C-alpha cells in the first residue's frame, strides 16, 4: 500500500516553468532557398566520358542581412571533372537560403548557421547539381552526404592554428 504522506506517490515532478512564464525554445525557420550563382562548362559534351577524376570543394558563408533580420547562408560547391588531364566539366554553384533564428543563444548561433542550415539545404543543392550534370549529357553525379559538423570543427581548428594578423585602424 502506498504511503499517502508522500506527494505524487514519490514521483519526481516534471520541470515546469514558473507561473505566467512560457518556455522559450530556440527556433529555426527557412524563408526561402535559391540559386544565387551558377556556372556550368561542358567542353566534352558527354562524348566518350569514362570515370573522370572529380575534384570537389565546399565553402560556407553566413551573414545577417539587416539588424534583427534574417540570415543568408550560402553553400558554395565547385565540381571539376577531368579525364586524362582533359576537362570534362566544371560546375560552380552558390546556393543560398534565408533563415530566421529566434531565441538562439549567441554561443550556438554560428554552429546553427554553419552546420544546421547547410544540412537542411544540402538535399536541394545536390539535386540541382545532379540534374544539371545529367542535362549536360553526362552521367548524374551523386554527391555523398556532407558532415557539416566535421567541416565546421575543421575550419575552427584551422582558424585557431593560424597566427593572428595585426589589425590596423
**12 pLDDT band (50/70/90 cuts)?**
very low
Q: What domains sit in the chain, N to C, each tagged with a CATH number? A: 25-139 (3.10.420.10)
Residue (of 26, 94, 89) closest to 62 by Cα position: 94
All three cell numbers of 23: 518556455
Distance separating the N- and C-terminal Cα atoms of the chain: 77
Mean pLDDT, range 155-169, rounded to an integer: 72
Residue (of 110, 103, 115) closest to 25 by Cα position: 103
Q: Please give the residue that has the higher pLDDT: either 23 or 92.
A: 92
Query: By the 8 A CB rule, do 42 and 136 touch?
Result: yes
Residue (of 29, 42, 79, 32) closest to 59 by Cα position: 79
Identify the residue whose cell numbers are 572529380: 54
Mind listing the pLDDT tens digit for each residue in 64-114?
999 888 999 999 999 999 988 889 999 999 999 999 999 999 899 999 999
Average pLDDT, the chain: 85
| 4, 95, 121, 143, 145 from 134: Cα distances, Å | 72, 18, 20, 13, 19
**17 pLDDT band (50/70/90 cuts)?**
low
Surface-to-core class of residue 98, CB atoms within 10 Å of its CB (0-12 exposed, 13-18 middle, 19+ buried) = middle
Residue (of 147, 90, 96, 92) closest to 124 by Cα position: 96
Residues 93, 87: Cα–Cα separation, whole Å? 18
Half-sphere exposure of 95 (CA within 13 A, CB side): 21
Amino acid at each position: 500500500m502506498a504511503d499517502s504522506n508522500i506527494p505524487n506517490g514519490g514521483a519526481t515532478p516534471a520541470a515546469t516553468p514558473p507561473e505566467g512564464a512560457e518556455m522559450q525554445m530556440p527556433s529555426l525557420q527557412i524563408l526561402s532557398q535559391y540559386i544565387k550563382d551558377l556556372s556550368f562548362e561542358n567542353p566534352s559534351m558527354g562524348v566518350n566520358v569514362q570515370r573522370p577524376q572529380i575534384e570537389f570543394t565546399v565553402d560556407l558563408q553566413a551573414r545577417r542581412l539587416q539588424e534583427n533580420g534574417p540570415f543568408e547562408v550560402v553553400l558554395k560547391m565547385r565540381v571539376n571533372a577531368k579525364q586524362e588531364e582533359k576537362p570534362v566539366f566544371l560546375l560552380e554553384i552558390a546556393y543560398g537560403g534565408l533563415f530566421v533564428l529566434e531565441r538562439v543563444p549567441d554561443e550556438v548561433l554560428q554552429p546553427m548557421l554553419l552546420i544546421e542550415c547547410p544540412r537542411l539545404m544540402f538535399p536541394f543543392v545536390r539535386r540541382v547539381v545532379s540534374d544539371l550534370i545529367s542535362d549536360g549529357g553526362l552521367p548524374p553525379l551523386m554527391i555523398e552526404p556532407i558532415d557539416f559538423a566535421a567541416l565546421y570543427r575543421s575550419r575552427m581548428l584551422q582558424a585557431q592554428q593560424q597566427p593572428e594578423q595585426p589589425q590596423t585602424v
